[in-house]
Every structure is written in C-alpha cells, then in structure tokens.
C-alpha cells in the first residue's frame, strides 16, 4: 500500500482524492486544507485537518495547491527528509523546500470539480530529485490506472504551454462560438458533434493534416463575408489573427 497525505482542496486535489479513494493500493492517511469548510463534507471518509503541525506520516505528501502557494507551503511543512511532490505544470521542482525529498506528480489534464474524469486516460508526468523515489511515483500513477512519463522541468513547462493552446485557448474559442450563436438565438448544441469530430481526428492524424476551412483553402470570398458578420471587434481581431496563421501554415497568401 502507498500512503498519501493530500494538501489542498482545489480542482486537482479533489480529483486526486476521488482517484486515490478508488484505488485498492492507496490509502489516504489525511487531507489538509487551510480552511476545513472546503473538505468538511469528506470528514466521514478521511481524516481532515487545517493544522500543519498535526500532519500524519505518509509515504508521500502531495501539494495540490495554487502555483503561488507551493513554495511557502513546502517551507511550512513541520518535518524533514520525507517525500513531497507538487502537481503543477509550470512550477520548478526546485521551488520545493529541499529540507525534504522533492518531486513532481503532474497530471496532464483539465480539471473541474463538477466534471467526471477517467483517470486511466490521464498521463502523469513525473520528475524526481532523488532517483530512489522514481519507482514510488510510478507505482502511485499505476495505482490509479495512469501511464507515467519521466520528463524534465523544461519538457513539463513546454507541455504546459502547449496545453494552454490546445485546452484553455480552444475553450475560449468555444465560448466565443457560444456567444455568436446566442446573439442570433441559435442552439450551441448544434456545434457539439463538430467539436467532438475535430477532437477525434487528431487522435489518428496530425493537426496539420486535419485542418479544413476557408483559411486553409484560401477562400477569400467566404472570409470576407464572415468578417462582415462579426459584430464584436475582439472577435474580428481573433478571426483575422487565426486566419492569417492558418494561411501561413498552409502556404496561402
């Protein structure tokens, strides 16, 4: 069994708790958060605390907190020479206080508390300072059904950057599409099969090969008509920028 103390109560922490709870080879010794109200509903299932001095012993302490809180929380831990890992995609492993053994356990996925996640589809990016801890982190990932990947800090930060483009920016485009539909009383659900198919295509072919649309085929008439339809200046700027990027990628002018 792998014993865990979970610190934090945000989206990542909540989903890790759910995944760890389902595993037959992980035991959650304790769940910490600065305010108990965020985790009080779990009190019947796991030991909870808001007092760092009362943290129990465990094989690994996972800091699933905001990026800005990682360094200070690791400094405030009241023990030494235990394994402490954060879950951030962009924070250096070396931001963790080296009074303890340090590592990164980064689940590469978007998390919302109210959205169910299948952890078996999530790659876990692992980074360790002490080599002897690598196997434990691999075992922890395996215990929740995930593939693990040993990567460097630079690779993890680059992955996080790429994730911002394919997830956060893409979702903002969904929001714009939703706004455009609502402006003309169109049901956004009509676009959902297209969204699904677009995501499915890049599972089997490259994004370059999957590209379609007026910019790729340099359909100037359609582009001109669509620009006239856009009523929001910010949306127009985004349309022009992405159209230019697609045309450049596919050798159009």
Ranges of each domain in the chain: 2-151, 156-249
Average pLDDT estimate for 177-203: 95
Q: Round to whole Å and give the CA distance between 53 and 180.
A: 52
Instruction: Say if residues 1 and 26 touch (Cβ distance below 8 Å).
Output: yes
In the sheet with 148-150, reading across from the earlier edge strand, the strands are 48-49, 26-32, 2-7, 60-63, 83-86, 101-107, 124-128, 148-150
Question: Which CA distances in Å does 59 have to 70, 90, 104?
Answer: 19, 24, 14
Q: Which pLDDT score is estimated for 158? A: 95
> ∠ at Cα 190 (188, 192), nearest 5°?
85
Residue 180 banded pLDDT, cuts 50, 70, 90: very high
Whether residue 222 has pLDDT greater than 90? yes
Whether residue 233 has pLDDT greater than 90? yes
Whether residue 1 has pLDDT greater than 90? yes
Whether residue 115 has pLDDT greater than 80? no
Lowest-pLDDT choice from 15-29, 72-86, 111-125, 167-181? 111-125
Whether residue 179 has pLDDT greater than 90? yes
pTM of the model: 0.86
Whether residue 253 has pLDDT greater than 70? no
Q: Which pLDDT score is estimated for 111? A: 83
Q: Which CATH architecture has domain 2-151?
A: 3-Layer(aba) Sandwich (3.40)
In DSSP terms, which residues pair with 127 in a beta bridge?
Answer: 104
Residue 126: helix, strand or coil by DSSP? strand
Q: Which residue has the tokens 């903002």?
A: 172
Residue 91 banded pLDDT, cuts 50, 70, 90: very high
Of 161 and 118, more confident: 161
H-only helix segments in the chain: 11-22, 67-76, 134-143, 153-163, 170-183, 192-201, 207-210, 220-229, 233-249
Residues 126-157: tens digit of each pLDDT: 999 999 999 999 999 999 999 999 999 999 99
Residue 210 banded pLDDT, cuts 50, 70, 90: very high
Average pLDDT estimate for 208-220: 94
Average pLDDT estimate for 14-36: 95
Average pLDDT estimate for 163-182: 96
Residue-wise over 122-157: b if at least 16 C-beta within 10 A, else e?
bbbbbbbeeeebeebbbebbebbebebbebeeeebb
Whether residue 113 has pLDDT greater than 80? no
Average pLDDT estimate for 226-237: 95
- Topology agreement, domain 2-151 and domain 156-249: no
Q: Round to whole Å and give the CA distance between 62 and 205.
A: 36
Q: Which fold has domain 156-249?
A: 1.10.1040
Residue 119 banded pLDDT, cuts 50, 70, 90: confident
In three state form, how does the secondary structure of 66-107 look?
CHHHHHHHHHHCCCCCCEEEECCCCCCHHHCCCCCEEEEEEE
Show the tokens assigned to 24.
Answer: 């037959």
């Amino acid at each position: 069994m792998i014993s865990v103390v979970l610190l934090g109560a945000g989206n990542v922490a909540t989903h890790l708790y759910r995944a760890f709870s389902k595993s037959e080879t992980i035991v959650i010794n304790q769940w910490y958060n600065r305010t108990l109200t965020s985790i009080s509903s779990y009190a019947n299932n796991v030991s909870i605390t808001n007092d760092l001095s009362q943290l129990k012993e465990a094989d690994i302490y996972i800091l699933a907190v905001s990026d800005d809180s990682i360094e200070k929380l690791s400094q405030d831990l009241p023990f030494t020479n235990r394994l402490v890992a954060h879950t951030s995609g962009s924070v250096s492993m070396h931001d963790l206080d080296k009074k303890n053994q340090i590592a990164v356990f980064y689940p590469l996925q978007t998390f919302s508390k109210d959205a169910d996640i299948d952890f078996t589809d999530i790659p876990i990016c692992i980074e360790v300072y002490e080599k002897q801890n690598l196997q434990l982190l691999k075992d922890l990932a395996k215990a929740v059904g995930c593939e693990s990947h040993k990567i460097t800090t630079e690779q993890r930060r680059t992955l996080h950057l790429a994730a911002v483009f394919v997830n956060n920016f893409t979702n903002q485009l969904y929001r714009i599409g939703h706004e455009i539909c609502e402006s003309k009383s169109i049901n956004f659900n009509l676009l959902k099969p297209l969204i699904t198919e677009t995501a499915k295509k890049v599972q089997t072919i490259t994004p370059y090969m999957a590209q379609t649309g007026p910019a790729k085929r340099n359909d100037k008439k359609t582009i001109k008509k669509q620009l006239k339809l856009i009523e929001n200046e910010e949306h127009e700027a985004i349309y022009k920028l992405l159209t230019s990027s697609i045309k450049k990628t596919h050798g159009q002018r």
